[in-house]
Amino acid sequence: MIHFEKTSVLSVCARKLYDWHLQPGALEALTPPSEPVRVLNESFVLEEHAELTLELSLGPFKLHWIAHHQNIVPERRFDDIQRKGPFKHWHHQHLFEPLSEETTRMRDVIACSLPGGAVADRLLGWAVRKKLRRLFDYRHQQLYDRFGHAKPAFVTNG
């Protein structure tokens, strides 16, 4: 199993940060231009057991990713679990912890495994973590640019 975590402290209340993640276009805004993603079910509404279908571009190839959402606690968390996609297993926890009325600790916690099992995870886990680190550094920077830093600026583990 491959584990990754990215934590940031932002100058925004948890409700506003959580709600921003629910709006149309949020995922695209958090995705680097070099890694295009397209939401195929544009009428998606985040609710328990809702599924979001994405199209990822890997060079000339298109890959569909279906994410099942669960453990939804408004203003606090939601999880997405891959139903179909490139991983054998993917569980992404989106956590929003209010630190004050104007400050939120946001954590992205990912547990995933590659096709090929433990051997593939051991051999290629470093590459997956590197790609996740780049992706989530970008995502969190976009949120800093939108909402502002709080102190401490951010902590990365992974």
Fold annotation for 2-157 = Alpha-D-Glucose-1,6-Bisphosphate; Chain A, domain 4 (3.30.530)
Domain limits of the chain? 2-157
64-83: per-residue pLDDT in tens?
999 999 999 999 999 999 99
Return d(Cα 75, Cα 19) in angstroms, integer: 7
Q: Is pLDDT above 80 for 14?
A: yes
Return d(Cα 144, Cα 48) in angstroms, integer: 28
CA atoms within 13 A on the CB side of 124: 13
Question: Looking at residue 44, what is its pLDDT?
Answer: 81
91-143: per-residue pLDDT in tens?
999 999 999 999 999 999 999 999 998 988 888 889 999 999 999 999 999 99
Q: Where are the beta strands (DSSP E) in the chain?
A: 2-10, 37-39, 51-58, 61-73, 77-84, 89-100, 103-113, 149-157
